[in-house]
Every structure is written in structure tokens, then in C-alpha cells.
């Protein structure tokens, strides 16, 4: 039996590198001068602070550009609402989602059962989904199916075994 795992992970070091690059760019760009803009990075939670909502949109754009350049998918980003902060500033909390939740795992399992080739089964194992089948081609068809579906989270395929 051939198997592979469907996971949703983010390379934390790449996130850190992207945030460092974004902070350097904010420090040098003219449109961020005297705006007191900053990015706080705490594991998978980013806090964006600046003086106005239009500067916040520009700050968010810089962060997204750097994340994409470093190969971090934006599908797993969850933007909080824009809040008023101290000294006439605004802030927004951005959360990077990791792992496949139980509802998404059920959705993946249902999709594989309904649209996948015959003889392919899947089961949830914590925050991963293990897909099993007799033929390698069937498993590759399932990978193509999941890549084509918009599930709202970044998916990676690991441990492909024959």
C-alpha cells in the first residue's frame, strides 16, 4: 500500500526572515518616515502598528510581499480587525495558521471520498491526514485534486511511500 501525508505547515525561520526584511524596508522607505510604523513578531502572531489606516494597508502590503518572496503561503493568514491604539495610532493583528483543524480534515476526507479515485482512503491523524491507496497514480490524482481545491489553508504533501 502506498501512502502520503497531507499537512499544513509554515517554515517559522522563513517567516522571521521575511519580517526582518520588512522591518528594514520600513526603516528606509520615505513614505514610512515619521509614521512610527512597526511590526511585532511573536511566533505566528504579527502585530502591525502605524499612524493611519492607509499606512497600515501599505505596511500589510510590504509584509505580504516579503512573505511571498520567502515562499510562505498567504492562504493561512488571518487578519484581525483594525483597532485604535494609543497616541492616535492603529494596529492590526495578523495570525498565521498552522495545522489542519478537525473541520478542514473532515472536508479533505469528504473530498477524497467523493471525488478521488476508487480504492483510495484517508484518515485524520492529529493535524495531518494520511491518504492510502494501492496505486501510485491514484495517490498522485488525489494530490492534484487537493492542489486544485481552494481549502483556505496551505497544503503540503509529505512522506510519500510505496
Q: How confident is the model at residue 3 (pLDDT cuts 50, 70, 90)?
A: very high
For residue 85, give the nearest of 21, 118, 37, 45 by alpha carbon: 37
Q: Are the CB atoms for 4 and 143 separated by under 8 Å?
A: yes
Distance CA 146, CA 140 (A): 10
Mean pLDDT of 54-63: 92
pLDDT for residue 130 = 93
Do 20 and 83 sit in the same domain of this protein?
Answer: yes
Query: Does 46 have pLDDT greater than 90?
Result: yes
Note the pLDDT tens digit of each residue in 22-41. 999 999 999 888 888 889 99
Q: What is the CATH number of the domain that holds 117?
A: 3.30.70.860
Q: Which three cell numbers stand for residue 151?
A: 481549502
Q: How confident is the model at residue 1 (pLDDT cuts 50, 70, 90)?
A: confident
Mean pLDDT of 151-156: 87
Do 83 and 130 sit in the same domain of this protein?
Answer: no
| Containing structural domain, residue 79 | 12-96
Do 84 and 106 sit in the same domain of this protein?
Answer: no
Q: For the chain, list the strands marked E by DSSP.
A: 2-7, 38-42, 45-50, 77-79, 83-85, 89-96, 121-125, 128-133, 156-161
Q: Which three cell numbers stand for residue 75?
A: 492562504
Query: Does 150 have pLDDT greater than 90?
Result: no
Distance CA 24, CA 28 (A): 7
Q: How confident is the model at residue 110 (pLDDT cuts 50, 70, 90)?
A: very high
Q: What is the CATH number of the domain that holds 51?
A: 3.30.70.990
Distance CA 23, CA 38 (A): 7
Amino acid at each position: 500500500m502506498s501512502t502520503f501525508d497531507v499537512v499544513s505547515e509554515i517554515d517559522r525561520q522563513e517567516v522571521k526572515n521575511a519580517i526582518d526584511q520588512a522591518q528594514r524596508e520600513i526603516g528606509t522607505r520615505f513614505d514610512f518616515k515619521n509614521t512610527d510604523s512597526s511590526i511585532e513578531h511573536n511566533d505566528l502572531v504579527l502585530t502591525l502598528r502605524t499612524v493611519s489606516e492607509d499606512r497600515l494597508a501599505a505596511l500589510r502590503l510590504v509584509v505580504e510581499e516579503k512573505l511571498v518572496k520567502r515562499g510562505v503561503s498567504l492562504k493561512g493568514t488571518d487578519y484581525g480587525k483594525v483597532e485604535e491604539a494609543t497616541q492616535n495610532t492603529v494596529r492590526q493583528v495578523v495570525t498565521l495558521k498552522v495545522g489542519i483543524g478537525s473541520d478542514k480534515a473532515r472536508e479533505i476526507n469528504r473530498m477524497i471520498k467523493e471525488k478521488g479515485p476508487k480504492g483510495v482512503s484517508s484518515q485524520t491523524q492529529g493535524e495531518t491526514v494520511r491518504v492510502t491507496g494501492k496505486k501510485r497514480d491514484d495517490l498522485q490524482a488525489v494530490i492534484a485534486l487537493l492542489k486544485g481545491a481552494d481549502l483556505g489553508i496551505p497544503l503540503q504533501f509529505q512522506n510519500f511511500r510505496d
